[in-house]
Amino acid sequence: MPRYSYFAKNLTGEPRSGLLEAKNKHDLARVLRQEGCFLISAISEEEMISKKKFVLAVPFLNKVSLKEKIIFTRNLKVMISAGISLPRSLKILAGQSKSKKLRRTLLEISEEIIEGKNFSESLAKHPAVFSELFCSMIKVGEEAGTMESVLDVLTRQMERDYELKSKIKGAMIYPIIILVTMFVIGILMLIIVVPQLSETFVDLGVQLPFTTRTIITIGNFLAKFWYLIPLIIFGLVFCAQIFSKTKSGKRLLDTIFIKTPFISSLVKQINSAYTVRTLSSLIASGIPLVRALEVTAGTLSNGYYKEAINEAAEQVRKGAKLSEALKRHENIYSVLVNQMVEVGEETGETSGVLEKLAEFFEEEVANATKNLSVIIEPALMLVIGAIVGFFAISIIQPIYSMMSAIK
């Protein structure tokens, strides 16, 4: 008989979950009813395996949002402080979760804890849901008996990350809308206007320049095979994503972001904020500095910053101070970072100093994102002007040549 992973509730509303053998879901519901429980949801082991395969193919469709993780961590801290056992807390939170992936993950972790495994070990088996930072801090909380305070630090860390990401996304909405609108208008012109002009040029027998012939060829192709446009867009986006995940593609993008004027300063502030905020949380939780640096490096997306922190970890392991190790990377970490780290080392308050520094950088990012539209507007105008000018010259040039010939 197949085995089902189920989630049920008893007459008092308390959740219950686990694994049971049954002929089908109706039989499972009958068995649970006899035990005074009502089946809420169930999934067979075969379905779980097939869903896991599908998740591997398209992981973005089953991703657990940062907001979901914040809610989970905050509620887990409240339950542990109230004296509720960890397995029961996880089952209750699984029942409250809107994310199916997080629900399944929490139920699996709860079962493993009941079997005698550590919380941190069970979390580490789900890297797609819980980061290395999360697992490392939970491990410290288990060993030191400070789980409640660690969960509090984790909650504040993720809340800050969420705020920072929200500000960045909010600043990018305007330019994205403008670019998408411009792209749609350009496609419509190529499909509707350009083919009509090409027929006029053919009737007049005008000699067309190369740019005009190129636009007409693209326009006629899109007008004839317009249904291929979504496939072409999807193909380009897919290829761009694949390229961005390769080592050379990732390096190229990191270089562009860190070298481009205006953008580079924002990128440096964002990465500096992530670095000092994560490092502050890890040190405050009692994680050794070298390990904290290694975990912090794993959370950074930009390759230059990842390499810098990994090198700093190696230097600290050999006996160097963190401030000395970071001085070698003043091209990406400002002098302020080195100075504040040095103050923290001298006073023995590195975690507190880094937290204040993180707040400073986050405020700088907030101010920069507010002014980002002012910086992007001229650049967008130049791009739009160049594209409109190219279209105008390509279309007007043959007409002007024809009128000159008539004169």
Q: What is the pLDDT of residues 356-379, one digit of tens each?
A: 998 898 888 888 777 766 777 777
Q: Are residues 220 and 195 in contact, defined by beta-carbon separation less than 8 angstroms?
A: yes
Tell me what pLDDT residue 406 has: 56
Q: What percent of the chain has pLDDT over 70?
A: 90
**Is pLDDT at 341 greater than 80 in this prediction?**
yes
Sort 330 into a burial class: Cβ within 10 Å, 0-12 / 13-18 / 19+: exposed
Of the listed ranges 13-27, 66-80, 82-96, 341-355, the least confidently predicted one is 13-27
Mean pLDDT of 381-395: 80
This prediction has a pTM of: 0.65
Q: State the average pLDDT for the chain.
A: 82
Tokens standing for residue 64? 């657990």
Q: What percent of the chain has pLDDT over 90?
A: 7
**Is pLDDT at 37 greater than 50 in this prediction?**
yes
Tell me the Ramachandran region of residue 116: left when phi exceeds 0, alpha when psi lies from -120 to 50, beta otherwise.
left
Tell me what pLDDT residue 72 has: 92
CA 150, CA 142: separation in Å to the nearest integer? 9
Mean pLDDT of 315-337: 89
Tokens standing for residue 153? 């630090």
Tell me what pLDDT residue 58 has: 45
- At residue 25's C-alpha, the angle toward residues 21 and 26, to 5°, is 115
Mean pLDDT of 205-216: 78
**pLDDT tens figures, 109-118:** 998 888 888 8
Q: Helices (H) and strands (E) in the chain — how many of each? A: 19, 3
Tell me what pLDDT residue 52 has: 45
Instruction: DSSP letter for 208, please.
Output: P
Q: Are residues 55 and 62 in contact, defined by beta-carbon separation less than 8 angstroms?
A: yes
